[in-house]
Amino acid sequence: MDDFLKEFFPKVYRGKQMHLHETDYCKYDNRLLTLDGCGFVWAVAMACESWFTFIWILTFSNLGNPIAYRIYPHLLSHREEREFPPIDMFVTTADPASKPPFITANTVLSLLALDYPADKLACFVSDDCCSSLTYCSLREASEFAKSWVPFSKKYRVQTRAPFRYFTDHDSKVESSSEEFR
């Protein structure tokens, strides 16, 4: 090893000769010795870090220039029903302790009450059958939907979720009917 150091790394060899009682090469702080056989790994690590830096710059450069979306719901009423695409909506359920069935039922009811052609709208509920409470609440929600959906469409209710509709005291019905005030 001394011949190798003397020929290729004379500065390290002189430092070793000055400190003969020490055998730890790391004390000479020569990084070329630590790259011995690891050049490919360092090159791959540098390429990966460069890629992450590039992606980070692309991601955060767009935060200063946000996109503003404009929605024109009045234009949707001018469309014909055949122009609407069919939509399938999936609602998942979980343990009643983590996701109460009341929230799931309100989600299903608000999806069914959307102002969308009924033949192009499908709502699927995925239940893991961990509780009969979820099943019973969704069965009751389906019974309630038979009256809620026609009511919300007839009176053009803006708040589609029944929970929000019955707790909201602002403008519940867009219609000028005195029937439900």
Domain ranges of the chain: 2-61, 84-167
Helix/strand/coil (H/E/C) assignment for every residue in the chain: CHHHHHHHCHHHHHHHHHCCCCCCHHHHCCHHHHCCCCHHHHHHHHHHHHHHHHHHHHHHHCCCCCCCCCCCHHHHCCCCHHHCCCEEEEEECCCCCCCCHHHHHHHHHHHHCCCCCHHHEEEEEECCCCCHHHHHHHHHHHHHHHHHHHHHHHCCECCCCHHHHHHCCCCCECCCCCCCC
Across the range 113-136, mean pLDDT stands at 84
| pLDDT cut 70: percent of the chain above it | 77
Is residue 49 predicted with pLDDT exceeding 90? Answer: yes
Mean pLDDT of the chain: 78
Q: Which long-range contacts (C-beta less than 8 Å, at least 24 apart) are formed by 83-88?
A: 84/116, 84/117, 84/120, 85/120, 86/120, 86/121, 86/122, 87/116, 87/120, 87/121, 87/122, 88/122, 88/124
Across the range 102-108, mean pLDDT stands at 88
Is residue 179 predicted with pLDDT exceeding 60? Answer: no
* Cα(91)–Cα(141) distance, integer angstroms: 14
Give the end-to-end CA distance of the chain in Å, rounded to a whole number.
96
Q: What is the pLDDT of residue 20?
A: 63
* Cα(35)–Cα(67) distance, integer angstroms: 47
Q: What is the pLDDT of residue 50?
A: 96
Across the range 67-75, mean pLDDT stands at 77
Q: Band of the pLDDT at 180, cuts 50, 70, 90?
A: very low
Is residue 29 predicted with pLDDT exceeding 60? Answer: no
Q: Band of the pLDDT at 181, cuts 50, 70, 90?
A: very low
Q: What is the pLDDT of residue 178?
A: 54
pLDDT digits (tens, 9 = 90+) for 150-175: 888 888 887 778 888 888 655 444 54
Q: Are strands 121-126 and 87-92 parallel, antiparallel or unpaired?
A: parallel
